[in-house]
């Protein structure tokens, strides 16, 4: 009788233990691992420096005006105008001579600056930039196919599991 009580006690403990063990972990054999990629655009700026020839205007002569010719011409014209006429006419002739002499003296002194302008080409560096699309493939995970007790399963994982994968086995009544 003690034996029957002991066997029934042990079988009830065994049944309770298995009844509460809804799931457990085991290992399954990995059949294939396929990396999964996403295509991502990472645009970048690409710049180059070019040398171009630029046409620019160069002033004739040295670009500076000489005012000495106007002064000397004005004095000479005033002296000549003063020699002509008398009274108020002489004053008018002196003033007109000074103006005409100054204009003539300026023309003679600055004859180089009245020449036609010339143009010359000079090199200049120019930087040109553009945006270039740069498509890259980024690893997003691994598609893992594994086999457990003759059944094939597939899952997406963050890393390559190797030759085995740990699986959780869940037991439920049908």
pLDDT digits (tens, 9 = 90+) for 107-121: 887 776 655 567 788
Q: How confident is the model at residue 5 (pLDDT cuts 50, 70, 90)?
A: very low
CA angle 52, 56, 59 (to 5 degrees): 155
Q: Any idea which residue has 């002489």 for tokens?
A: 90
- DSSP string across the chain: -HHHHHHHHHHHHHHHHHHH--EEEEEEEEEEEEEEEEEEE--EEEEEEEEEEEEEEE-STTS----HHHHHHHHHHHHHHHTS--THHHHHHHHHHHHHHHHHHHHHHTTGGGSPPEEEEEEEEEEEEEEE--EEEEEEEEEEEEEETTEEEEEEESS---SEEEEEEE----
pLDDT band at residue 12, thresholds of 50, 70 and 90? low
Which positions ≥6 away from 112 have C-beta within 8 Å?
60, 61, 62
Write the pLDDT tens digit of every residue in 131-151. 999 899 999 999 999 999 999
| pLDDT of amino acid 54 | 86
Question: What is residue 106's predicted lDDT score, i.e. its pLDDT?
Answer: 82
pTM of the model: 0.41
């Amino acid at each position: 009788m003690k034996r029957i009580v002991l066997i029934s006690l042990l079988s009830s403990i065994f049944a309770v233990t298995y009844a509460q063990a809804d799931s457990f972990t085991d290992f399954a054999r990995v059949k294939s691992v396929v990396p999964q990629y996403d295509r991502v655009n990472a645009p970048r700026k690409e710049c180059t420096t070019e040398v171009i020839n630029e046409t620019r205007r160069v002033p004739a002569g040295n670009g500076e005006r000489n005012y000495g010719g106007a002064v000397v011409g004005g004095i000479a014209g005033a002296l000549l105008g003063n020699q002509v006429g008398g009274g108020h006419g002489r004053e008018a002739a002196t003033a007109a001579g000074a103006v005409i002499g100054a204009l003539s003296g300026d023309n003679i002194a600055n004859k180089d600056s009245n020449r036609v302008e010339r143009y010359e080409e000079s090199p200049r560096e120019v930087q040109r930039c553009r945006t270039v699309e740069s498509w890259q493939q980024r690893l997003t995970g691994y598609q893992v196919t594994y086999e457990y007790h003759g059944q094939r399963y597939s899952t997406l994982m963050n890393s390559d599991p190797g030759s085995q994968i740990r699986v959780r086995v869940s037991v439920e009544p049908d």
